[in-house]
Structure 1
Amino acid sequence: MLLSVADQTAFDRVSECHPQWTGMCRVSDVIAGDAKLLLHAGPPFSAVDTIPAPVMNSLCVSAVWEGWADSYDQARQMINQGLIRVEPAQDHHIVVPLAGVVSPSMQLMVIADANNPAAKKYSVLNEGMVHCTRLGKLDPELQAHLRWLNGELSDWIANRLEQPIDLLPVIAAALGDGDDCHGRTIAGSALIADQLFKATSGDIPEEIETFLNGAMAFALNIWMASSSLMMSAAEGVEGASLITKAAGNGYDFGVQVAAKPGLWITMAAPEVKGAIDEAHTGRRAVGAIGDSAVVDFIGLGGQVLNTATASYEGLKAYLPEDALNRPEKALAATLTGFGSRPAMTSARQVVENQGGPMVLLGMIEDRGESGRIGGGVVDVPVSFFRNVLDEAGL
């Protein structure tokens, strides 16, 4: 039950949002100017020397891909000298997973509110399961993959979005098939791929068909942008404690609250607790990283483990005892679009009920050598939400 009129007003705005995938655009169409600017997940870095190795690797990959540097070493020097700027993607209405980076020549999926078409959020295409900037490695195959992803694949997809894809029904169907829409996105990715294939007249290029059929996390970036769009509908409601942004950069973890748009409230990035794959025994992961935390904070991911049984079974050794009761503790009210599940993290309710949201995250190796080394969960502490209320003056 909502604890304030302001939170109710903010939640009502969220419930009116109807996200649709309406098309593709270039990053430079969204962010004006000629500056050398790269965007990362999470809140801003306080200094360049706090950027974790995986994020720095992805920044360097993107700088070379843009043609700003001839080598990764040169790119790193330019970043360290401030010749290439880095800023949070969410501050520009874009979301990016894990250690991924957004650069001006990349293509973005446009997610718009059918009831307010001017309201839009964006995400890069999910890169698949092999060559991914989100893994934070200096992968020699990434340059070619980025060219294909932002060329042939994005052009093919753009031509199949003449009719927008309504996303809430797909989310509800994916949840019904056992997805949590963060750690597990298999059903949702297949549903999205099927809609793209059905919009095709003529043969589907074999490389594209193979990629989409094998990209089990393809829907994640779409769910991220949809979550970000819906959460942002609550922004600007005076006195409201609903969380409208949430993310980690591997060094810090931060949120924004409805009453104070633009104000990042941060803590040290918490540990992701989970099993490290046997092949990576002895390696360590960076702290919580990625804009995908928005999926969990809106009420998916770690908040739907009661229906996402495969996710629950894989993580239960690392979950708190009250894991299946967290939704009723942390989330504001029932959202019809999520199959009548609870949604929207309320800082007030987290503090009142002594239970915060759980975030399902990949574990990215801290030296930038091994990429994803496992998967786990972050139990965002109640003490952080007390600080959120204090810093937001609520």
Structure 2
Amino acid sequence: MSLSASDQYAFELIKQCKPQWSGLCKVSDVIGERQLLLHAGPPFSSTDLIPTPIMNSLVIGAVWEGWAMDYAQARQMILAKEISVASAQDHDIVVPLAGVVSPSMTLMIIQNANQPAKRKYSVLNEGMVHCTRLGKLDETLLGHLSWLNGELACWLTTRLVQPIDLLPVINAALADGDDCHGRTIVSSALLHQRLADMSKESIPTEINDFLQQSLAFALNVWMAACCLMMSAAEGVVGSSLVTKAAGNGIEFGIQLAAAPGKWVTTAAPAINGAIDPSHQGRTALGALGDSAVVDFMGLGGQVLNTAHASREALGNYLPGNALQRPIMALAAALPGFEQRLAVTCARNVVASGAGPLTLLGMIEDKGEAGRIGGGVADAPVSLFERALQEAGL
């Protein structure tokens, strides 16, 4: 599809963005020293609406920060608004699934090499076992968060002696079968190797083991990189390119370039996928997490033509036109993605009648079992229609 002049201009700005992992900082360096916790997705209109998995992670964050003595007190403080809660993307930060961001945590800085002042941030990936993104009251998480934001963060800070250009890593991972969202095995290994190559000193055993076992370590990096690239279009008058996308389990929202800061939301679409046999009978929250930015940028569900393992794992849960979605929803070919189509264009979605597919983990809604499966979410075209209307396009 041909782009409007405004969408073409916005896309050219995105083309000029060269994301790189340049360092680390504290969350408080970005949001200040205050009792504020951040979550994925658009903001909740009331704390009463926060689903149990996200609330579980919020109270873990509050106790870890020392603001509350136990989970019960933390929950009461959040409901009473003694501890504030807000959308992570509204503070230039991304967090996966039901995860939490708190002031003492460490952030990875992803900046535009061509405009270093332009930055987005992501929390460190927590690994594959003890993770706030799973939304469970895991007692071992308090110690793990201290190690993650202490020993690991300190080592990464000293090891990352020069920025890592991220587009070459993404391209290499795509060429080897990653989709950079549901499957990040290759890209996580590549980032591990980049860190290893920065010094002749060996990596401490505990850290090396963690990085080797963290098959999704790269996901948080790709989330911030995609968020950064999409944000380059913010403020372009008349542009319908999507600059933010995320779910909070209750609602799913997007923002358009022409209306920065304005979330347009719909009920969080169900995730269509297989529930693991050990969790049969359980149900999942709707679309959840800031990782939707990866798919809306053009990775994840939009690269299933080469991510064969991801496509096979999803099997019959994919719509019949899954491999055509990039043509139907995305703006144009992006050199940084080896000329693959990239960036969701709301005008294209409405004209074609189909949006980008988003690959997501399924988080059990009671906050007891964590991840119970994985699948694909499909935001309704009506969301894009309303976003265009509310932006006056």
Q: Report TM bin, short chain.
A: over 0.9
Per-residue CA deviation, residues 211-259 of structure 1 (Å, 9 max, x unaligned), is 0001000000000000000000000000000000000000110000000
Counterpart in the other structure of 1:392? 391
Alignment pair present for 1:316 and 2:312? no
SS at match of 1:101: coil
Per-residue CA deviation, residues 150-192 of structure 1 (Å, 9 max, x unaligned), is 0100111111211100000000000000000000000000000
Counterpart in the other structure of 2:14? 14
How far, CA to CA, are the matches of 1:267 and 1:392 in structure 2?
16
Q: Which runs of 5+ in 1 are unaligned?
A: none
Which is worse superposed, 374-383 or 8-17?
Answer: 374-383
How far, CA to CA, are the matches of 2:164 and 2:383 in structure 1?
37
SS at match of 1:159: helix
TM-score (norm 1): 0.99
Q: Which runs of 5+ in 2 are unaligned?
A: none
Partner amino acid for 1:190? A
Counterpart in the other structure of 2:233? 234
Counterpart in the other structure of 1:200? 199
SS at match of 2:159: coil
Counterpart in the other structure of 2:24? 24
C-alpha displacement at 1:18, in angstroms?
Answer: 0.1
How far, CA to CA, are the matches of 1:172 and 1:102 in structure 2?
29
C-alpha displacement at 1:48, in angstroms?
Answer: 0.9
How far, CA to CA, are the matches of 2:303 and 2:205 in structure 1?
35
Q: Is the 8 A contact 2:179 2:307 kept in 1?
A: yes
Alignment pair present for 1:172 and 2:171? yes
C-alpha displacement at 1:375, in angstroms?
Answer: 0.2
SS at match of 2:194: helix
Per-residue CA deviation, residues 327-360 of structure 1 (Å, 9 max, x unaligned), is 0010000001112100000000001111110000
C-alpha displacement at 1:203, in angstroms?
Answer: 2.5
SS at match of 1:102: coil
Partner amino acid for 1:94? I
Matching of residues 36-75 of structure 1 within 5 Å: 36-75=35-74
Per-residue CA deviation, residues 31-78 of structure 1 (Å, 9 max, x unaligned), is 12x321000000000111110100000000000000000000000000
Counterpart in the other structure of 1:126? 125
SS at match of 1:118: strand
Counterpart in the other structure of 1:340? 339
Partner amino acid for 2:299? L
Counterpart in the other structure of 1:190? 189
C-alpha displacement at 1:199, in angstroms?
Answer: 1.2
Counterpart in the other structure of 1:96? 95
Counterpart in the other structure of 1:364? 363
How far, CA to CA, are the matches of 1:316 and 1:277 in structure 2?
14
Matching of residues 277-296 of structure 1 within 5 Å: 277-296=276-295
C-alpha displacement at 1:201, in angstroms?
Answer: 2.9
Counterpart in the other structure of 2:5? 5
Identity %: 66
Counterpart in the other structure of 2:300? 301
Partner amino acid for 2:375? G
C-alpha displacement at 1:388, in angstroms?
Answer: 1.2
Counterpart in the other structure of 2:76? 77
Q: Is the 8 A contact 2:298 2:344 kept in 1?
A: yes
Alignment pair present for 1:382 and 2:373? no
Partner amino acid for 2:12? D
SS at match of 2:48: helix
How far, CA to CA, are the matches of 1:245 and 1:204 in structure 2?
36
Per-residue CA deviation, residues 90-147 of structure 1 (Å, 9 max, x unaligned), is 0000000000010000000000000000000000000000000000000011000000
SS at match of 1:368: coil
C-alpha displacement at 1:372, in angstroms?
Answer: 0.2
SS at match of 1:127: coil
Partner amino acid for 1:223? W
Partner amino acid for 1:393? G
C-alpha displacement at 1:307, in angstroms?
Answer: 0.5
Partner amino acid for 1:256? Q
Alignment size in residue pairs = 393
How far, CA to CA, are the matches of 1:324 and 1:365 in structure 2?
28
Q: Is the 8 A contact 2:264 2:383 kept in 1?
A: no
Which is worse superposed, 276-285 or 313-322?
Answer: 313-322
Q: Is the 8 A contact 2:34 2:103 kept in 1?
A: no
SS at match of 1:158: helix
Partner amino acid for 2:133? R
C-alpha displacement at 1:200, in angstroms?
Answer: 2.7
How far, CA to CA, are the matches of 2:234 and 2:296 in structure 1?
15
How far, CA to CA, are the matches of 2:277 and 2:392 in structure 1?
46
How far, CA to CA, are the matches of 1:341 and 1:259 in structure 2?
24
How far, CA to CA, are the matches of 2:221 and 2:199 in structure 1?
20
Partner amino acid for 1:257? L
Partner amino acid for 1:8? Q
How far, CA to CA, are the matches of 2:267 and 2:372 in structure 1?
21
How far, CA to CA, are the matches of 2:102 and 2:325 in structure 1?
37
